[in-house]
Amino acid sequence: MTTDTEMDGQTLDQLTARAEAALGRGDLDAAEKALASAAAMAPAAPLVRFHQGTLALQRGQPVEAARHYQEVARQAPGAAAVHGNLALSLRRAGDPEAAEVAAMRAALLDPAGAGAWSTIAIAGAALTETDRRCRRTPSLYARHAARLEPGNPARQGELGFVLWRSGQHEEAGAVLRDLLDNGKAGPTDRLNLGNVLAALGRTEEANALYQASAADPRTEADAYHNLALARLEGGDVPGAADAFARLARRRHGRPLGDDPRFAGVGHPVPSDPPSSRLAARHRLHHDAEQFAWLAEESLLPGNLSDMGREYGAVLDGLSPEKRDAISFQLTEAEHARLSPTWNRLVHIAGTGWGDRPALDPNLDWPGLEDGYLSGTPRHAVVDDLLVPDALEALRRFCLGSTIWFEIKGAGYLGAYFRSGFNDPLLVRIAEDMQRLMPRVIGPHQLKTMWGYKYEQGMVGINPHADFAAVNVNFWVTPDEANLDPTSGGLIVYPKLPPKDWTFEQYNSASIQSVYDYLGESKAQAVRVPHRSNRALLFDSRLFHETDRIDFAPGYENRRINITMLFGNGP
């Protein structure tokens, strides 16, 4: 290990050379120490900033890497390698449009360099034709990169990926299969071949490749995600839930007392906390209440029993600006206080639901279907949806599971199928819905499910539509928590969005633009008040929004709704 004493008296050139050598052998700590000493001498030196960018890129910090490379590019605009690395970091940071521009500059400076052409192709494959600066088909650039380095399997793999993203599935499969058969496939090539086969409808072959990719930590998360989607498409809801459960543990850690079947998936609490620091006042308030509740229920070990107070202390210390913000980034000090549990599956209140009905079999299910199919708009209200022990188990799951990671709007949190909202009871509810409503839900596959938990005194979901066939929405919070029995539920408007709207427009159009579009039909809305164990089924394409919320204070009184989407949109 390099010590600070060893670097005393070294010149800037010696320090940057030491950093470059350390980066080359993957010793990132040694590189960081050498660069810290070099930056103390010359913080703006291009080579220092370039190596700092490379260090950040190797540490999985593409935004930080791009910041360094952008500064170097300003100082050395004619350096192709700088623009190439900038393009790579921007692509990994999720900005394909800027990555494409930077890669084109690198390619113009060094036309013989295959890396820049490949980055143009990969970035372009993530963009629509309208958004692309480079108007040619991305596969043309990928082919060119492969021709420049014909013996490089990485370029062949990138070509296969771009062909898949461009819809050229047969050719993509041939390219990727050749790599796999000749033992030259990289970790993502097997995964991408699975994606190609899934697109071609060869589900069993795709699932086998996803299973193999899940055994490799480099592709494990993507493999579980794609495996879950493939299983959903095939109607295997329990299999999808299992894959999503493994994905959640890979991303958010393994909870205390976890199911033995997930042993070895993800890191146990409290090690290796996820790095995202995105927070909101209502998220901190919820987590403070939840961890206090878990401690009161004796569901936390001693070393985590004070986490509710830690969240409360961070919440109390927020600046006025952060308190009013929709979201913000935690400081290092704030994150350090919360890191043992922040964005972690610390506790899952599993229901252990087995092979028994979850929905009340005594309801008039054929009559409910008749009402739905004849309704204008199509909808049905179902009271006493769940059998009593299922309702209690589901409440307990929502209260005790630390899965509420997604900051939504200005007053509620989301837990998704992919990130822990995948208990066997939820699976059974979805399966029972398909079995008991064969005309309404039976023809449709489950597409996804989620739960939302609301902050008292704040607002819910704006008017929007979902890109599915049938929406099943139900509530589990006790009736006595709702201080206004005439509201607290859902409003459904009897009008579909324009046929030319995109998915983004369905979900993110402004409130006023939706109201303007609804016009007189807004007055014919179906308003269904909140009731515990009540479900509302409706055509998912109809505009809908959360009604006024007025619930009592206290953690167990938070409004909780669960949504399941079945079938595809138009």
Least confident window among 128-137, 322-331, 411-420:
128-137
Three-state SS annotation for 182-194: CCCCCHHHHHHHH
Helix 187-199 to helix 220-233 angle (10° resolution) is 10
How far is it, in rounded angstroms, from Cα 108 to Cα 104? Answer: 6
pLDDT tens-digit series, residues 394-434? 999 999 999 999 998 778 999 999 999 999 999 999 999 99
Mean pLDDT in residue range 151-171: 95
Would you say residue 74 has pLDDT above 90?
yes
Residue 5, pLDDT > 80, answer no
The residue written with tokens 């007189």 in the block is 520
Name the residue among 509, 506, 471, 503 with its Cα closest to residue 490: 471
What kind and span of H or E run contains 122? helix 114-125
Give the residue-averaged pLDDT of 107-111: 94
Mean pLDDT, rounded, for 26-46: 91
2-11, 432-441, 556-565: range with lowest mean pLDDT: 2-11
Phi, psi of 546 (to 5 degrees): -70, 135
Residue 500: predicted pLDDT: 74
**Structure letter (DSSP) for residue 551:** B
Percent of the chain with pLDDT over 70: 96
The pLDDT of residue 334 is above 60: yes
Q: Does 4 have pLDDT greater than 60?
A: no
Q: Looking at this protein, which amino acid is placed at residue 97?
A: E
Binning pLDDT at 50, 70 and 90, where does residue 518 land? confident
Considering the entire predicted model, what is its pTM? 0.85
472: β partners: 537, 564
